[in-house]
Amino acid sequence: MIDFELSPHIEEKKEEMRRQAMEILRPLAREYDEKEHEIPWDYVNQMWDAEKADIAQQLADLEAGTKRREREFFLKQIVMAEELSCGDAGINMRRARYGLGGAAIMAVGTKEQKIRFLKKYTEGQPKWGAMAITEPGAGSDTANITTTARREGDSWILNGEKIFVTGGLMAAKESDGLVVVWATVDKSAGRGGIKSFVVEAGTPGMTVTKVEDKLGIRCSDTASIVFEDCRIPYDNLLGSPEVLDKTKTTGFKGAMATFDATRPAVAASALGVARAALDFVREVFQKEGIPVRYGASPYSLKAAERDFMEMEANLHAARLLTWRSACLLDAGQPNNLEASMAKAKSGLAVTKVTQKAVELLGPLGYSRKYLLEKWMRDAKINDIFEGTGQINMLIVARRVLGFSGKQLK
């Protein structure tokens, strides 16, 4: 028999995060939507101790040479992410953590690099991490990355521009933050020449040139960063220093493995936003005496009932895909296909659910008196970042059909 119940430990964390989401994040949601570039420091500081403790445990295991990890670690993380995003996705994204930058280090870095860079996140004040991939001329097609890394003695020299870097402002400017940059060491090698490099906050030559004004998740900063003769230590290249072998794409594949761990988390955030919208519609229906008759014949249902049930079905389907992608990680199994399925489905679901919610409630959904219009704005990014919905559907098609990237573009 298949069991879809969460363990008592995860249920306990789920309820803890739900209380935090409703009591702390939800009351701040409108304020920090209006104050886009301000930082909710009380929340950031409150969450920092827990973040440090999680990283300290990972580092202790690394230093001891053990692979011990809390059972259901990734599943717990995505359940918590859904709850916090139901409070407010933007504020939750703004909290201090090693983020995508740390995820890239854990996916690609050597043991020494993991210990060296992540140890900073167990000490002192709140710190941020980011990953810089997208460029003005290279979005989803990472093979066209033009940011370069040139070796010069015991250093790498980075030149190029990155845009839409989530958390890039704080990661690049705050003390002990870091940005993991995708750059090519050999343009003629295509993806084979792409490697990941750690640039620590305050490094000369790394400049934040713009912070985006956005449609949604407005509390989370999104930055453009320029690298001009930015010199970093030679061993800040993640993974193997053998970077000029044109016949292999190990650096690129290692960097892409980052997304297998982070796409389920993005999918979970989408679930939280969708659930917030669905819960609000349910409350309005109950207040207005509009029933949702689950046991009734489909032919007797009203349009609003059918719409609500379809919204629920999309949310539940996306959640099960997301949980499965996390459970595979916990089992140490590949989840590339499942992570892309979860990300694609959740991005579509949250967009459809929030738009339908606004449609069903009409003026209530459109009014800024309520948060529903904000959730519709927050929703769309989930179908765009960490690989667009189209790219993730392409990955799914390739894996299911057994085609390579050259065969199916």
Q: Return the CATH number at 159.
A: 2.40.110.10
Residues 264 and 392 in one domain: yes
Rounded CA-CA distance 116/200 in Å is 12
The pLDDT score that the predictor gives to residue 408 is: 87
- Determine, yes or no, domain membership for 409: no
Q: Which residues of 205-218 are buried (b: 16+ CB within 10 A; e: fewer)?
A: ebebeeebebebbb
Angstrom CA distances, 336 to 25, 118, 408, stand at 32, 25, 17
Residues 88 and 152 in one domain: no
**Which is it for strands 222-233 and 129-132: parallel, antiparallel or unpaired?**
unpaired
The pLDDT score that the predictor gives to residue 127 is: 94
Residues 84 and 39 in one domain: yes
Final residue in a domain of this structure, among 96, 122, 148: 122
Final residue in a domain of this structure, among 122, 144, 172: 122
The pLDDT score that the predictor gives to residue 67 is: 63
Comparing CA positions, the residue from 186, 346, 358 lying closest to residue 267 is: 346
The pLDDT score that the predictor gives to residue 356 is: 98
The pLDDT score that the predictor gives to residue 291 is: 93
Final residue in a domain of this structure, among 245, 262, 282: 245
- Determine, yes or no, domain membership for 1: no
Q: Tell me the DSSP string of 5-19.
A: PPPHHHHHHHHHHHH
| C-alpha Rg value of the chain to the nearest Å | 22
Residues 306 and 220 in one domain: no
Residues 156 and 232 in one domain: yes
- Determine, yes or no, domain membership for 2: no
Residues across the chain:
409
User: What is the count of structural domains for the chain?
Assistant: 3
Residues 100 and 170 in one domain: no
Residues 256 and 239 in one domain: no
Average pLDDT, consecutive stretches of 10 residues, N- to C-terminus, the chain (409 residues):
80 96 97 95 92 85 70 90 98 92 89 91 91 89 88 97 96 90 89 91 97 96 97 92 54 72 94 98 96 92 95 97 94 93 97 98 96 98 92 93 87
Host domain of residue 40: 8-122
- Determine, yes or no, domain membership for 391: yes
As annotated, the active-site residues are 386
Residue 379, exposed/middle/buried by CB under 10 A (0-12, 13-18, 19+)? buried
Residues 101 and 194 in one domain: no
- Determine, yes or no, domain membership for 3: no
The pLDDT score that the predictor gives to residue 241 is: 67
Report the CATH number at residue 84.
1.10.540.10
First to last CA, the chain: 39
Residues 25 and 118 in one domain: yes
Report the CATH number at residue 330.
1.20.140.10
Rounded CA-CA distance 338/322 in Å is 8
Residues 6 or more apart whose CB falls under 8 angstroms from that of 14 comprise 6, 79, 80, 83
Rounded CA-CA distance 186/143 in Å is 11
The pLDDT score that the predictor gives to residue 85 is: 98
The pLDDT score that the predictor gives to residue 1 is: 46
- Determine, yes or no, domain membership for 183: yes
- Determine, yes or no, domain membership for 169: yes
Residues 274 and 396 in one domain: yes
Residues 392 and 275 in one domain: yes
The pLDDT score that the predictor gives to residue 141 is: 75
pTM, two decimal places: 0.93
Residues 269 and 396 in one domain: yes
Q: Which two tokens stand for residue 332?
A: 């140490």
- Determine, yes or no, domain membership for 106: yes
